[in-house]
Amino acid sequence: MGQAETAVDLEFRNVTKRYPGQQEAAIDDLSLKVEAGEICVLVGPSGCGKTTAMRLVNRMIEPTDGEILIDGASVGERSRSDLRRHIGYAIQQVGLFPHITVAENIATVPRLLGWERERIEDRVEELLELVSLDPKDTRDRYPSQLSGGQRQRVGVARALAADPPLLLMDEPFGAIDPINRERLQNEFLRLQQQLKKTIVFVTHDIDEAIKIGDRIAVLKKGGELAQYASPAELLTYPADKFVEDFVGADRALKRLSLQRVRDIDLWKTAQVRVGESTAEARKKLDDADLPLPMLVDERGRPLGWLSERSLSGERVESDLRSPAEPVVELDDILRDALSDLLSHATQYAPVVDQAGAVAGVLSLEVIGRFLTTADPENSPTGVDLVADELDREPDAER
């Protein structure tokens, strides 16, 4: 059960779509490749042809010129219904069939493909669990009995039903409120981590694109490809003024959400314990990037910043200048860590590892240096971020 078909790669080769009677092309000579197992986000302002581009893949729209290849074979050579049954399809309005149950909705494509009843039932169960819905509770409900978020999940489950190697998603989280939207995005990325499908994802929201995409294709009006790059690359080196404007004036800050604290060079700090000789503590201070000693407990956990006076005797005394606040974790997203620093009106904060021991100091200066020097080539994507979260806490958040 499950991964029957592996992911495929997808290529647009000089694709043009021109609607009769319209001056401007909807898609203009679009060429791009999506590697197997990657999420390609098509993003751009309304009227840029992103949805059109997606709908060309399963022949909901036929190109005027050029061709689209799945694993090297042109989609034009397959019958429409056969092609579509092997490509997952999820749209913003979901389009669940209101007259049949959730289970029957999900079973749509497997039924068209002539699966046996038992296999379909097992698959429905599996999929409902996959999208975090309780099979017992939901399978016999009608779509009108579900919340918006639940409907969206059923929509995704339905698109995945026959385990297609390629998925088309048109603003699948567009109609969801911001909180549930974020949850669904995270769940979706976790799902993709397991499934490794090739996905074409359409959105008008650049933040969603940065979060979701392995590669982002920015389209401008008239269906012209402005840039096709990884999220970090897009944010660091926008190809032109249009892309720069589209990703927003805060693009440097956006890069912070693609990085964890552990990924950047932290300051070394002088960690001292009560009762330690002052001479040794002073030696540690000389090696540190910050002229302030940090008092730690016997397990290396931060207690606070020490005052000058505490080093005046022969032995280190516990005389705190200020508490160690905030404490940042190595696994925190850089953007959240920065926000922590700012909200505590402080320049620096100790960073702790999973055991709670001090691993270094994060400062505004360190973050600044990262923003000016980081190499976008080695920057992780939203998928990576969710992936290592998954490794760390296998049963995290339901």
Partner 1 sequence: MSALLGLPIAQVQIQERAGDSCIATNGFCPDWIADNFDRYVDPFFEHVFLTVVSVGIGFAIAFSLALLAHRLRWTFGPISAVTQVLYTVPSLAAFFLLQPITGRGNLTAIVALVAYTLFILFANITTGLQNVSDDVKDSARGMGLTDRQLLWRVELPLALPEIFAGLRIATTTTIGLATLAFFAGGGGLGAVIEQQLFFKSNVVVAGGLAVALAAVFDLLILGIQRLSMPWRRVQLAT
Cβ at position 145, least distance to partner 1 in Å: 6
Site string for partner 1, 122-161 (x = CB under 8 A): -------------------xx-xx---------x--x---
The SS3 call for residue 370 is helix
Q: Rounded to 5 degrees, what are φ and ψ at 245? A: -65, -40
> What residues from 283 to 302 belong to the interface with partner 1 (CB under 8 A)?
none
CA distance 52 to 214: 21
Of 293, 347, 336, the closest CA to residue 317 belongs to 293
Q: 68 or 281, CB closer to partner 1?
A: 68
Does position 42 bind partner 1 by CB under 8 A? no
Secondary structure (DSSP) of 49-106: SHHHHHHHHTTSS--SEEEEEETTEEGGGS-HHHHHHTEEEEETT----TTS-HHHHH
Cβ at position 108, least distance to partner 1 in Å: 6
Cβ at position 336, least distance to partner 1 in Å: 37
Q: Rounded to 5 degrees, what are φ and ψ at 319? A: -130, 100
Member of 32, 36, 60, 374 binding partner 1 (CB under 8 A): 60
The H or E element that residue 120 is part of is: helix 117-130
Cβ at position 32, least distance to partner 1 in Å: 21
Does position 201 bind partner 1 by CB under 8 A? no
Member of 61, 100, 274, 285 binding partner 1 (CB under 8 A): 100
Q: 172 or 238, CB closer to partner 1?
A: 172
Of 365, 371, 364, 384, the closest CA to residue 235 belongs to 371
Cβ at position 398, least distance to partner 1 in Å: 25
Does position 174 bind partner 1 by CB under 8 A? no
Of 292, 291, 294, the closest CA to residue 276 belongs to 294
Does position 77 bind partner 1 by CB under 8 A? no
Interacting residues with partner 1 (CB under 8 A): 58, 60, 80-85, 89, 91, 93-100, 108-109, 112, 141-142, 144-145, 155, 158, 168
